[in-house]
Amino acid sequence: MLTIVGIKNCSTIKKTLTWLDENEQEYTFRDVKKEPLDESEIADLVKKVGLETLVNKRGMKWRTLELNKREVSDEELLELVFEHQTMIKRPVVLSGEAAMVGFDEEALESFIEYNEG
């Protein structure tokens, strides 16, 4: 079964969940505001998709922290992501050991077919 990680009021999450419902896909939803990822879960995501893919550099939190105005090491960025999980690009879609980030209908369909069989 899929696990969708994100924030409930995010428009991209809403689109993703609607698509999953319309395509009769079973999933669980994890709102990181209510149930944050722990450090090992974030580290695992970074290993699977990469830090650059995981972090939303166009989001509100990135701008409010003014991270676009300075150099940030990967270690510092990892700490910031753990502290401010709204910086995670949405959705994160998990299936077993596989992960994908972002909403694209064709990519999601392929991801599900490959990982859910």
- Domain ranges for the chain, please list them: 2-116
pTM (two decimals): 0.93
Distance between CA atoms of residues 62 and 84, nearest Å: 10
CATH 3.40.30.10 for the 2-116 domain, yes or no: yes
Report the pLDDT value the prediction gives residue 30, as an integer from 0 to 100.
98
Give the CA distances from residue 51 to residues 6, 34, 57, 63, 75, in Å, rounded to whole numbers and listed in that order: 16, 23, 11, 17, 10
Report the pLDDT value the prediction gives residue 116, as an integer from 0 to 100.
80
Instruction: Give per-residue burial for 31-52: e unless 16+ CB within 10 Å, then b.
Output: bbeeeebeeebbeebbebbeee
pLDDT values of the chain reduced to their tens digit, one per residue, 117 residues: 999 999 999 999 999 999 999 999 999 999 999 999 999 999 999 999 999 999 999 999 999 999 989 999 999 999 999 999 999 999 999 999 999 999 999 999 999 999 986
Can you list the pairs that 33-40 forms with residues at least 24 positions away whose Cβ atoms lie under 8 Å? 33/7, 33/8, 33/85, 33/86, 36/85, 37/5, 37/82, 37/85, 37/88, 39/82
Catalytic annotation on 10? Answer: yes
Distance between CA atoms of residues 113 and 117, nearest Å: 5
Choosing from 10, 51, 65, 67, which is the catalytic residue? 10
